[in-house]
Every structure is written in structure tokens, then in C-alpha cells.
Amino acid sequence: MSDKVSPPGPREAVATGEPLLVAESLTKHFPVRGGFPVRRTVGAVQAVDGIDLTVRAGESFGLVGESGCGKSTTGRLLTRLLEPSAGRILYRGRDITHASRKQFAPVRSEIQMIFQDPYASLNPRQTVGRIVSGPMEINGIEPPGGREARVQELLETVGLNPEHYNRFPHEFSGGQRQRIGVARALALEPKVVVADEPVSALDVSIQAQVVNLLQRLQRELGIAFLFIAHDLAVVRHVSHRVAVMYLGRIVEVGTRDDIYGRPRHPYTHALLSAVPVLGDGASPRERIRLTGDVPSPIAPPSGCRFRTRCWKARDRCAVEAPPLARADGSAEGHLSACHFPEPPATADSGGAVRPGGRSGTAGQPGRG
Amino acid sequence: MTAFLSVRDLSVRFSTEDGTVRAVDGLSFTLERGRTLGIVGESGSGKSVTNLAVLGLHDPRTTEIHGEIMLDGQELTGAPESVLEKLRGNKAAMVFQDSLTALSPYYTVGRQIAEPYRKHTGASRREARLRAVEMLRRVGIPQPELRVDDYPHQFSGGMRQRAMIAMALVCDPELLIADEPTTALDVTVQAQIIDLLQELQQETGAAIILITHDLGVVAGTVDDLLVMYAGRAVEQGPVREVLRAPRHPYTWGLLGSMPRLSGSVDEPLTPIPGTPPSLLAPPPGCPFHPRCGYVGAVDGGAGDRCRTERPGLPPGRGAACHLPEELQRSVFAEQIRPRLG
């Protein structure tokens, strides 16, 4: 595996920390149709409901949540694979929310995507060379030295044998296929890569190989990543900043240490405590047991959407949706959407929910 | 006295167009009532096949099974289908990973729970329905007398998994095999299901085999652990000991590959290089040697033994590895442990 990666091409450079991809009150409602004899819209799946987030140049931004929380929809909205219902998307200050194909063309190459399923996301009838050079072909890019040379360079970058240029996807294992998907995403030297569950289909030992690859690329090429995943440990490992989603809304956002070490939203706290960890079994971990399931996004609860499963919910939560804001005692940039946030953590900020109830969640919910 | 479930030298081979797949090769383990055995391994390690073989759920035309499977004194390998039929759903039951495909979409949840009960106990429709309601209540489905008439698609993922557990437990099985029962579920629901399995085990005293790829899930749940690689058991022992001081380089690799929720994040993960071998032609000697970083440490350097001689798995606590036990301990303590954070 080559250790060095060639630096990005001589396009407009971006300064680290510059807001690259910004979502403002981004919303996606999928209409639900029904009725007889005339089918009409009877409701909407509120997949994403007014979220704000910023991915900065060179950073890795993690988006976590359980299935159906809208994290993948968010990724698809930001890459313009879905048309938003409301809100704005800005790329380097330019409004691309409803940009036409033509208007979007110059930006398209700078925002790329890596998909979850390495089996479904590669065309089985195309050679690896064709798959990886596809984006260059579509965008009419002729790299110096030719496309073939560039593809071979990319294959080497992602740790594949450049001589496998003429092979087909079925000749590769799952981990290798995911590397092909990564090479394709890198072909246009993007500034932002949206990776939707890029490692969740892989076995642990292979997953670690791909995680290390993505981290190395992020570091060496300075690409910003929006890393969408349900696995909290993987997200912690790769992300500088993390946002937690629940039922179409962001409930908490902050640096990795804020989220994993000092969570303020009860949902974040419960989520972290539910992850099974490798302990020695000697010190029992605090476990918050959430009851029930996530409500339907067709008819989400009023007010705070988490209130139906929250042990702290009071009358106010049903009436008033809590804004995503900085709670007392939170660090700069650490925002949470809760009327009754968890107490700020004490001095020890080791970076994880500690065993033995550090945050003193009084009145823990019983199990259903 | 012999163990409640004892598997000795089990081999499972499938004949395919490309040749014979050695899915499981020389596997042995025992399990007592009231205990939980965790079997971990990656895809293709043989962990599911082993348990399908125990229940006779394989295709006899293409599958060859050798070895001995004794359940409560009864030999199951080569047992006629009529014997296995009486056993399945009654004395031994299984919970599958994907509840959407394991439940039939055409029948109500209640009917699917009641059916094995009627078949094995000869109960009437009415009794079986009451039993189904009771089972749904036991697994924590709200309003069971109403939900019993729902179809699977009307249940959420977590509820379906509960319904499947109710179906598996309806005849009070003494052996429950749970194959990745929480893999398709979200973490908050996963925690509920794991708790439920443990509670039910305390009530019924059943033996449980929990098959998973997630070492985190077994850590707090099982008593004993069996680590499988390429169809073979590579390490076994009480779960705390295996996780605290693992001895096989493959187990080290698994632990090093896992990102953590606490500790340092500056270190890159230490994945296992390469990919698992094809089971059509498993490597000679130790199946892990092509990916193992410690081959050179065996017998003073050449590592020929790893390439030619298959290491045995000591009974009880131990690893199937040619590294001397002393070295297994010291390498883990000095080289692996510090990297795990």
C-alpha cells in the first residue's frame, strides 16, 4: 500500500476551517399518497425536518443516529441526489439548493459520495478501470498522462493492485470493492466526500482497513468528510465533530469530546450507554434503557420529538420544540436541543460515558 | 455425567459446482443448562452453519456432516428427520437475524406463535391462542390480546424480533440458538432484546447459544466464548478471560480492529491484513497463518510448523496456536494490550 498520496490538483484551494457545505433549515418531506378512487396526498414522511449543519474544509464531520432518523436522506440532499422540500444548501457560499444540472455542473465534481453496499454500488459489467474512470469521462476530464494512468494511480492510492485495471467487481472481496468505490469518489479530486455507511457492510477486520484508509486520505488530501453511520464507535474514531440525529432533527452537535464525553441531550446519553462495550465486567456500566421504538416520521410527536421515550419529559416538552442551542455549561459550538439538558460533566473529561452514573440521571426509566 | 449439549469433532462440508466447501472442520464444544455460549467470528467462519447442523436444518443432498452432536443424551447426527422434527421448536429452538424473512407475511403473528405449540403439545386452537397472548406479554409486547391478530408488517423491527423470540420460546425449549438476534436492530433496541434474552433464560433455565460478529454484544452477555475462523475454533474459554487476556493472534486482530467508545483515538486501528481464506481450499496447517504476524515467532523463526501442522485447541481455556502459551501471554501483555487503549 502506498503511503503517500498525490496532493489535490491545482484548482481553487480551500482554506482549512472554511465552511464548505452548509445546510440551513434543510427539510425533506416525502409525500404519502392514499385514498380511493382518487389517490391524493394524505400526509408526509418528515424524513428531514429543518436541520442546520456546516461541514468545514478539511474536517471530518460525523452524522449518527438510528435507522429512519434521516441521516442518509440528509446525505442525499447535500449531494443533490434528492430535491429538498425547503431550506437552503450552500457550497462555499453559493446557493446550490435548486441549481439546475448545468448550474450545478462545476460544483458536482467537488462533492462526491461513497455508498454503503459495495456489491450494489458497482456495475458488474464494467471493469474496474471503466468504473473508476467513469466520473472523468462524464465530466470530460483528461488528466495529464491519460485516464488509464490516473486510474492506476488512484487504485494504488486506495491500496489495490494497479494491474487489476481490467478486472471485474466480482473478482474482488467486499473490502476491496469498497476501495474501488473510494477510488471512484476520489477520481475528480473532490473537496467534500459524503460517505454513507461506508464500512457497515464489512467484517470487523476489513472494516478497520477501510476506516484507516479513509482517515489517511482525509489527512493527506485534506478532503472534508461527511461520515454518516449508525456505529457510534466508528464515528468517534473518524470524526472531528459529530451531530446526533433523531427522527429528522439534529438533537445535539459538538466536537467529538463534547458528544462522547459530555453529552447534554438525554438521547445522546441513552444512545451511548446502550452500545455494548468490551469491559472486563468488573465495573458495571451505567445503562439507560430506553423503552419502546422510534415513533413514525409520518406523525412525529409534538414539541420535542424524543419526549415519548424520554425519562425527563414534562408538559413543556409536548408543547414547545426545543431549539438547537448552547446549554448552560456547554462548550462553544456544543449545541443541544433539550429543555432539560443533562448536567454538565464534572472535571474528568475522559472522552466517554463512564461506568457508574457520572451524570446522575435521576429517575431512570424502567424497562418496558 | 455428559454435558447437556456436546459437539465433538463436527465437520460440515457442502458440495458445490466449484468443489467441496469445508464450512466447519473439527469443531468441539459443550454447553450446560442455564449457561450461555457465545460464538463469534466473521462472515464465512462457520458459526451459523454449525448451529444449523445441530438442528438438522441443512440440505441433506449437498451437505455432509461428520462427528457427534449429543443433545441431552440423544445423538443428532444422522438422526432421522422424524426425530429432528420432534426436537425442533420443542426442545431446541432458534431465533434468526432477520425477523422480516423469518416470519411469514401471510399469517398473523399469533398464529405463527401458536402453530409450533399446537403441533408439539396437541393443544386446541383456543388454548394455543391464549398461550400466544401470554408469550407476547412475556416478551414485552404492549396490548398482546390485540397485537396477537396483527401481521408481521404491522410490527416494528424490535417488536418482530420479540415476536420471533416468543415463537422460539413457546414450547419452553431447553436449548435456544440465537443467530445474530440483534444485528438488524438499532442499539437502543438491541439493548432491550439482549436484556430480554437474559431475563427469559433466568426464568426458564434454558441453555443459549448466541452467535454474533460483535465482541461487544458477547462481553456482557455470555458465560463462555468460542472464537471461530475459517470453519475452525481458534480460541475458547470463559468470556472474561478470553477478552481480558486473549491468546490467539486472530482474537488479537479482532480486538485491534474494533474502534472504541473511550480511550485514545489518535492511534489508527490495527486491522488484520489480507482477507479470510477460501474454504474451497483452506491453507494447510493453521488456517490463520497467511494473515498472522507471529508465524516467525514459532520454533525459532522459520514458522514451518504453522504452514504444515494444524494446531489443536486445548479443552477448557486455550487457543489453537503453535505459539507456546508463555509467549501467547507475554506477546499480548507487551505488544497488543498497550495498543488497545
Tell the residue number behind the cell numbers 465530466, with chain if given.
A139
Report ipTM for this prediction. Answer: 0.84
The sign one gets for the Cα dihedral B243, B248, B254, B258 is positive
pLDDT at A365 (0 to 100): 41
Q: Does B158 touch chain A (CB under 8 A)?
A: yes
Residue B182 shares a structural domain with residue B128: yes
Distance CA B280, CA B20 (A): 6
Q: Using an 8 Å Cβ cutoff, are B66 and B11 in contact? A: yes
Q: What dihedral angle (degrees, nearest 10) is formed by the CA atoms of B68, B73, B79, B81?
A: -130
Q: What is the mean pLDDT of residues B155-161?
A: 86
B261-278 residue pLDDT tens = 887 787 888 889 888 888
pLDDT at B23 (0 to 100): 92
* Cβ partners under 8 Å of residue B145, min gap 6: B133
B15-50 residue pLDDT tens = 988 889 999 999 999 999 999 999 999 888 988 899
Out of A271, A276, A352, name the one closest to residue B262 (CB).
Answer: A352
User: Is the pLDDT score of B170 beyond 70?
Assistant: yes
Angle, vertex CA A279, rays to CA B238 and CA B160, nearest 5: 85
CB atoms within 10 A of CB B117: 22
Burial A60-94 (b: 16+ CB within 10 A, else e): bbbbbbbebbbbbbbbbbbbbebebbebebbbbee
pLDDT at B260 (0 to 100): 86
| Residues of chain A found within 8 Å of residue B253, distances taken between Cβ atoms | 205
Instruction: Read off the C-alpha cell for B193.
Output: 432484546
Angstroms from A67 CA to nearest CA on chain B = 7
Q: How many residues does chain A have?
A: 368
Q: Does B268 touch chain A (CB under 8 A)?
A: yes
Nearest to A104 by CA among A91, A113, A87, A85: A91
**Owning domain of residue B206:** 5-227
Q: Using an 8 Å Cβ cutoff, are A180 and A99 in contact? A: no
Nearest to B249 by CA among B335, B341, B309, B314: B335
pLDDT at B58 (0 to 100): 84
pLDDT at B185 (0 to 100): 81
pLDDT at A361 (0 to 100): 37
Q: Does B267 touch chain A (CB under 8 A)?
A: no
Distance CA B198, CA B56 (A): 26
Query: End-to-end CA distance of chain A, in Å?
Result: 50
A138-177 residue pLDDT tens = 888 888 888 999 999 999 999 899 999 999 999 888 889 9
Beta carbons of A66 and B259 less than 8 Å apart: no
Q: Which residues does residue A194 pair with via DSSP β-bridges, in sequence order?
A: A113, A226
Distance CA B243, CA A97 (A): 50
Out of B188, B214, B254, name the one closest to residue A205 (CB).
Answer: B254
Residue B60 shares a structural domain with residue B188: yes
Q: Which residues does residue A21 pair with via DSSP β-bridges, in sequence order?
A: A55, A91
* DSSP H or E stretch at residue B86: helix B81-87
- Name the fold adopted by A19-29+44-239: Rossmann fold (3.40.50)
Residue B219 shares a structural domain with residue B281: no
Burial B51-71 (b: 16+ CB within 10 A, else e): bbbbbbebeeeebebebebbb
Q: For chains A and B, what is the number of CB pairs under 8 angstroms?
A: 138
User: Is the pLDDT score of B106 beyond 90?
Assistant: yes
Per-residue confidence band for B301, with pLDDT thresholds at 50, 70 and 90:
low
Look at residue B238 and tell me if it is in a domain. no
Q: How many structural domains compose chain B? A: 2
Distance CA B36, CA B48 (A): 16
Instruction: Read off the C-alpha cell for B218.
Output: 458477547
Beta carbons of B260 and A277 less than 8 Å apart: yes
For residue A71, give the 3-state DSSP assignment: helix
Q: What is the mean pLDDT of residues B75-98?
A: 89
Residue B221 shares a structural domain with residue B307: no
Closest residue in B to A69 (Cα) is B186
pLDDT at B321 (0 to 100): 93
Residue B84 shares a structural domain with residue B184: yes
**In the listed set B227, B258, B288, which residue is the last one of a domain according to the structure?**
B227
Residue B100 shares a structural domain with residue B152: yes
CATH number at residue B155: 3.40.50.300
Beta carbons of B192 and A212 less than 8 Å apart: no
pLDDT at B341 (0 to 100): 64
Residue B174 shares a structural domain with residue B131: yes
pLDDT at B186 (0 to 100): 83
Q: What is the mean pLDDT of residues B183-187?
A: 82
Residue B175 shares a structural domain with residue B267: no
Instruction: Read off the C-alpha cell for B334.
Output: 507487551
Strands B36-40 and B224-229: parallel
pLDDT at A356 (0 to 100): 36
Distance CA B34, CA B39 (A): 16
* Cβ partners under 8 Å of residue B256, min gap 6: A208, B269, B270, B271, B272, B336, B339, B340
| Residues of chain A found within 8 Å of residue B263, distances taken between Cβ atoms | 351-352
| Residues of chain B found within 8 Å of residue A272, distances taken between Cβ atoms | 261
Residues of chain A with CATH 3.40.50.300: 19-29+44-239
pLDDT at A285 (0 to 100): 66
Angstroms from B251 CA to nearest CA on chain A = 10
Residue B13 shares a structural domain with residue B124: yes
* Cβ partners under 8 Å of residue B97, min gap 6: B179, B180, B181, B183, B184
pLDDT at B132 (0 to 100): 96
Low-confidence ranges of chain A (pLDDT < 70): 1-13, 279-285, 345-368
B208-221 residue pLDDT tens = 999 998 888 898 88
Using CB atoms within 10 Å of the CB of residue B292, give its burial: 0 to 12 exposed, 13 to 18 middle, 19+ buried: buried
For residue B39, give the 3-state DSSP assignment: strand
Distance CA B52, CA A231 (A): 29
Angstroms from A205 CA to nearest CA on chain B = 5
**In the listed set B197, B227, B257, which residue is the last one of a domain according to the structure?**
B227
DSSP letter string, B294-316: TGGGGGGGT-HHHHHSPPP--SS
Residue B128 shares a structural domain with residue B276: no
Beta carbons of B159 and A290 less than 8 Å apart: no
Residue B301 shares a structural domain with residue B212: no
Instruction: Read off the C-alpha cell for A68.
Output: 429512519
Q: Give the residue ranges of DSSP H helices in B35-80.
A: 47-54
Distance CA B298, CA B184 (A): 40
pLDDT at A357 (0 to 100): 35
Distance CA A78, CA A324 (A): 20
Q: Using an 8 Å Cβ cutoff, are A194 and A79 in contact? A: yes
pLDDT at B141 (0 to 100): 87
pTM: 0.86
Instruction: Read off the C-alpha cell for A80.
Output: 443533490
pLDDT at A319 (0 to 100): 94
Distance CA A69, CA A271 (A): 13
Residue B136 shares a structural domain with residue B40: yes
Q: Does B296 touch chain A (CB under 8 A)?
A: no
Q: Using an 8 Å Cβ cutoff, are B93 and B168 in contact? A: yes
**In the listed set B227, B259, B276, which residue is the last one of a domain according to the structure?**
B227
Eight-class DSSP state of A163: G
Closest residue in A to B253 (Cα) is A205
For residue B232, give the 3-state DSSP assignment: strand
Using CB atoms within 10 Å of the CB of residue A19, give its burial: 0 to 12 exposed, 13 to 18 middle, 19+ buried: middle
